[in-house]
Amino acid sequence: MEDNQIIDLFFERDEAGLTESRRKYGLRLHKAAMNILHNREDAEECVNDTMMRAWYAIPPARPMHFGAFLAKTVRNLSINKWKARGAAKRGGGEAGLLFSELEESIPSPVGTEGAYEAQQVTQAINAFLGGLEQSARVAFVLRYFYGDSIRDISEHFQMSESKIKSMLFRTRNRLKLHLEKEGITI
């Protein structure tokens, strides 16, 4: 079923919209949550909460990119759950590693100007990603948005893990230079 048809079901308050959303995106959402949480029950809870949030957000919202809307929601819920349970102290997943890989390339928003700066950073990152070749862009998004492992990405591209690590390293460095060129301090 196409995304517009699923969204129409939400607008009609037809619960089949939830069923179709889960059928189309459920596995990917669960994998994204698992990559952050490494706990099946927590991941399933985040997917369920994502569906609930979609149900309450649509209508009035009509996301242009429904899959991305769901992915961003499950990712944010998973990160919040990871932070809440203190996984960084216990090493309960790769989320800490993902954040540490990016911390030298992307500034952390702090203070009242944080929201505005975060919006500028988001726009600059989107522009940067739009200028990358497709394989580098997909690898970057799989790693830093969906939290896929290096092994999974290397299997996806049928490349060695060292090649993927190198590609991601170069992409992070290029991102850092791009952000500095845009006047965003790291």
* pLDDT tens sequence for the chain (186 residues): 999 999 999 999 999 999 999 999 999 999 999 988 999 999 999 999 999 999 999 999 999 999 999 999 999 999 889 888 774 455 555 656 666 666 666 655 555 555 667 777 878 888 999 999 999 999 999 998 888 899 999 999 999 999 999 999 999 999 989 988 888 776
φ/ψ (deg, to 5) at 6: -65, -45
Domain boundaries, the chain: 3-89, 97-181
User: Hey, what are 156's tokens?
Assistant: 């996806």
Sign of the Cα torsion 69, 78, 29, 43 reads negative
Global pTM value: 0.67
Q: Which CATH number fits domain 97-181: 3.40.630.10, 2.160.10.10, 1.20.1050.10, 1.10.10.10?
A: 1.10.10.10
**Which fold is adopted by the domain 3-89?**
Rna Polymerase Sigma Factor; Chain: A (1.10.1740)
Contact 35, 71 (CB under 8 A): no
Q: How far apart are CA 156 and CA 174, in angstroms?
A: 23
